[in-house]
A and B are shown apart, each in its own frame.
Chain A
Amino acid sequence: DVVMTQSPLSLPVTLGQPASISCRSSQSLVHSDGNTYLNWYQQRPGQSPRRLIYKVSNRDSGVPDRFSGSGSGTDFTLRISRVEAEDVTIYYCMQGTHWPYTFGQGTKLEIK
Chain B
Amino acid sequence: EVQLVESGGGLVQPGGSLRLSCAASGFTFSNFWMTWVRQAPGQGLECVANIKPDGSEEFYVDSVKGRFTISRDNAKNSLYLQLNSLRAEDTAVYYCARGWVTDWGQGTLVTVSS
By the criterion CB–CB under 8 Å, are A49 and B104 in contact? Answer: yes
A105 CA / B46 CA spacing, docked (Å) = 10
Supply 9 further A-B pairs (C-beta < 8 A) apart from A100-B48, A103-B47.
A49-B45, A49-B104, A54-B102, A96-B101, A99-B50, A99-B59, A100-B60, A100-B62, A101-B101
- B26 in the interface (beta carbon within 8 A): no
A37 cross-chain contacts in B, Cβ below 8 A: 100
Closest to A55 in B: B100
Smallest Cβ distance from B20 to chain A, in angstroms?
15
- A79 in the interface (beta carbon within 8 A): no
- Interface set, chain B 49-66, CB cutoff 8 A to A: 50, 59-62
By the criterion CB–CB under 8 Å, are A48 and B105 in contact? Answer: yes
By the criterion CB–CB under 8 Å, are B100 and A48 in contact? Answer: no
By the criterion CB–CB under 8 Å, are A48 and B45 in contact? Answer: no
B103 cross-chain contacts in A, Cβ below 8 A: 51
A102 cross-chain contacts in B, Cβ below 8 A: 46-47
A1 CA / B106 CA spacing, docked (Å) = 27
Number of A-B contacts (CB under 8 A): 51
Smallest Cβ distance from B102 to chain A, in angstroms?
6
Cβ-neighbour of B44 out of A50, A99, A105 (below 8 A): A105
Closest to A97 in B: B100
A57 cross-chain contacts in B, Cβ below 8 A: none
Closest to B47 in A: A101
- A76 in the interface (beta carbon within 8 A): no
By the criterion CB–CB under 8 Å, are A100 and B59 in contact? Answer: yes
Complex A-B: 18 CB contacts under 8 Å: A1-B61, A1-B62, A37-B100, A41-B45, A48-B104, A51-B103, A92-B44, A94-B45, A94-B101, A99-B59, A100-B46, A100-B47, A100-B48, A101-B100, A102-B46, A102-B47, A103-B44, A103-B46
Closest to A37 in B: B100
Of listed B44, B46, B103, residue having the most chain A CB within 10 A: B44
- A5 in the interface (beta carbon within 8 A): no
